[in-house]
Structure 1
Amino acid sequence: MSDNHTRGVSNLLFWYIVLSLTGVAYVILNLSYHSEEKEFEHTGFNLAGNDTIAVEEQGQLVEVESTEQKPYYTFIVFVITAPDHTPHREVIRKKSWAGYQWLEDDGTEIDRWKYVFVVGKTESAETMGKLEAEIEMYQDMIMADELDSYHNLVLKVLWLLQYSVDTYNFSFLVKTDDDSFINIKLLNRYLHEQLNSNSGGKMFFGGARTNRQPVLRRGRYGVGKELWDPDTYPPYCSGSGYVLSFDTVQELKSVWDTGVQPLFYVEDAFMGTLAYHSGKIEVSTIRGFYWHQKYGCSNKQALLMHYVKLDQMEEFMEKYEQGVAYC
């Protein structure tokens, strides 16, 4: 009886030790897991906008940015529009390229792209109310934190650069106007070719490239020598439509933040000066980008055409479906 009793006590002691060690190991692993989880929460990986969540840190609740992953798109088309251009937006989103179901040759839908209208603020309370209602209704428009005017266009675009990287993950940003027609199928094909090509390490900035454009010193497009001293601009792409890779968007904003280039109001030329100061951005010609539709409407392979009239927006979409030239 004595031996059996001793053996029983030993067995109970053995299992007590095993269970105790298991419990200690569980606590250690659990603490390690939560420590790693908290560390991940503070890395800022793929942060979406400025959303915050509350987490416990050293016994206190603190606010940190949310780790919700931002949506990814191959490209996002940001369409610069004016507060009173409601008819333009309605035609584009309902009867033209933005509302069209674009398909590949095999019938699969082209879905890794998005369009967003970008409008500025206005001093008219009535117009602001209408814009806010339109934003709420369609969920396809954002309002820049700038008054909408020609002189503020460059500020509107600089604001857009920051907004885009804060809100989305994307490979390319397309900036265009609400009087441009875009062939999304051909643009998608071109941008995928860029993704698969070797760019030689240069950041991508492409469109209807302009070389050695003379600087006007007077008038609406006048730029004083204190803002840009040379008599010609560095290469830039027409503001009717250009494409920036994600790293180019970040680089342009970084160069602007340094203050190396004083602000002037010719938006597309100004973007060219930022690219020039960077030294890392290659400004390229994209065949099929036309600053005026009269030069491209006979080409069924046109990717983007500017100065498209309101009634032509729907007409061009019909011509595309018919497989004929736009004019």
Structure 2
Amino acid sequence: MNCSATKNSPDNLERRDTIRKTWLTDRNHDAMMRHFFVVGTQDILPEQRNTLQSEKEKFDDLLLLPKLQDSYSILTKKVLYAFKGIYERYNFDFLLKCNDDSYILVHTILKELDRWQNKGTRRELYWGFFNGRALVKRNGPWKETDWILCDYYLPYALGGGYVLSYNLVKFIASNADILKLQNSEDISVGLWLAPLVNIERKHDVRFDTEYRSRGCSNQYIITHKQTIQSMRNMHEYYQTSGVLCSKEVRNRMSYQYNWTAPPSQCCNRQSGIP
């Protein structure tokens, strides 16, 4: 499995180091996984370039994109270029895309993927926390001025962390030149994969990957929207206790995705779900 952190920037060294020293240490699986921090390097300052090169030589875990100016406003293009670069350079069965403010239980992800492969399914895997009832944004920083497909976005896994099997990454990378880029990278991935029929879209409430965290649950395997300090605290507690949360907290309700209902009715939040 390859793990790629795309919501990153040239100056996020402290956050990258925090990840290296926290959840990336949870790995008795060096032969099974390789991780990358993806950074666009177009038009960066010489001192930034030198610092990144030193970091790359030291850790060998930076995927530098020389033709991309690293900006939050073009995150979709960054994700697309990252998928293309990883597909062209590395061998893998699955790709976990995450943000650099997500805390991940890597060993649990790997165990789940092993179980999925052992089922012998011939379907591709798109695994995350899905949304299907999101109305198209017409105002604000994420507005879509040329989305004409329907009044809702197509079902997509939230961008704090999701897993794609190799052939899905291959499809995206091989068609990179003709894919439509929406403002939101996770919405774009859902759009790109929408016409493919041989996919298991696996909605998992253990992925706390929405735009704000639902709280802290010991069932979570990805927890988004973590500060550097909260990531350190979570890791320290996990190492000593074997669970993520000193106290489980629910800030908002979750949902099981109803794939039998129209997307606009898919995702009704209710109590009792992590």
Q: TM-score range by the shorter chain?
A: 0.7 to 0.9
The letter of the residue matching 1:168 is Y
Shift of 1:122: 4.7
Structure with greater Cα Rg: 1
State which of 167, 175, 179 in structure 1 corresponds to 2:89.
Answer: 167
Q: Please give the residue correspondences for 1:64-143 in structure 2 after superposition, counting only pairs within 5 Å.
A: 75-80=1-6, 81-93=8-20, 95-98=21-24, 100-103=25-28, 111-123=31-43, 124-143=45-64
Aligned partner of residue 233 in structure 1, secondary structure: coil
Aligned partner of residue 213 in structure 1, secondary structure: coil
Shift of 1:88: 0.2
Contact 2:75 2:185 in 1 (8 A): yes
1:157 corresponds to 2:75: no
Q: Which moved more, 1:178-187 or 1:312-321?
A: 312-321
Task: Name the structure 1 match of 2:251.
Answer: none
The separation in 2 between residues aligned to 1:294 and 1:265, in whole angstroms, is 22
Task: Name the structure 2 match of 1:271.
Answer: 189
Contact 1:172 1:243 in 2 (8 A): yes
Task: Name the structure 2 match of 1:209.
Answer: 130
Q: Relative to 1, partners in 2 of residues 1:283 and 1:254: Cα closer, same or farther, differing over 3 Å?
A: farther
Q: Provide the aligned length of Structure 1 versus Structure 2.
A: 241
> Larger RCO: Structure 1 or Structure 2 (Cα < 8 Å, ≥ 6 residues apart)?
2
State which of 242, 253, 272 in structure 1 corresponds to 2:173.
Answer: 253
Contact 1:296 1:302 in 2 (8 A): no
Contact 1:211 1:235 in 2 (8 A): yes
Q: Deviations over 1:82-105 (max 9, x none)?
A: 112111011111x2011x1535xx
Shift of 1:79: 1.1
The separation in 1 between residues aligned to 2:38 and 2:151, in whole angstroms, is 32
Gaps of 5+ in 1: 1-74, 104-108
Q: Relative to 1, partners in 2 of residues 1:207 and 1:178: Cα closer, same or farther, differing over 3 Å?
A: same
Q: Relative to 1, partners in 2 of residues 1:307 and 1:263: Cα closer, same or farther, differing over 3 Å?
A: same
Gaps of 5+ in 2: 248-274
Task: Name the structure 1 match of 2:227.
Answer: 309
Task: Name the structure 1 match of 2:153.
Answer: 233
Task: Name the structure 2 match of 1:324.
Answer: 243
**TM-score normalised to structure 1 length:** 0.69
Q: Deviations over 1:127-148 (max 9, x none)?
A: 2222122112211111123110
Aligned partner of residue 49 in structure 2, secondary structure: helix
Deviation beyond 6 Å, 4+ runs, structure 1: none
Shift of 1:215: 0.6
Shift of 1:166: 1.5
The separation in 1 between residues aligned to 2:214 and 2:141, in whole angstroms, is 25
Greater per-residue helix proportion: 1
Shift of 1:325: 3.7
Contact 2:125 2:200 in 1 (8 A): yes
The separation in 1 between residues aligned to 2:90 and 2:129, in whole angstroms, is 26
Instruction: Tell me how large the CA RMSD over aligned residues is.
Output: 2.0
Q: Relative to 1, partners in 2 of residues 1:320 and 1:213: Cα closer, same or farther, differing over 3 Å?
A: same
Q: Deviations over 1:102-122 (max 9, x none)?
A: 35xxxxx56411211111125
Task: Name the structure 2 match of 1:190.
Answer: 112
The letter of the residue matching 1:86 is L
The separation in 2 between residues aligned to 1:151 and 1:133, in whole angstroms, is 27
Contact 1:110 1:185 in 2 (8 A): no
The letter of the residue matching 1:286 is D
Contact 2:101 2:228 in 1 (8 A): yes
The letter of the residue matching 2:87 is V
Contact 2:26 2:105 in 1 (8 A): no
The separation in 1 between residues aligned to 2:75 and 2:163, in whole angstroms, is 17
The separation in 2 between residues aligned to 1:102 and 1:296, in whole angstroms, is 25
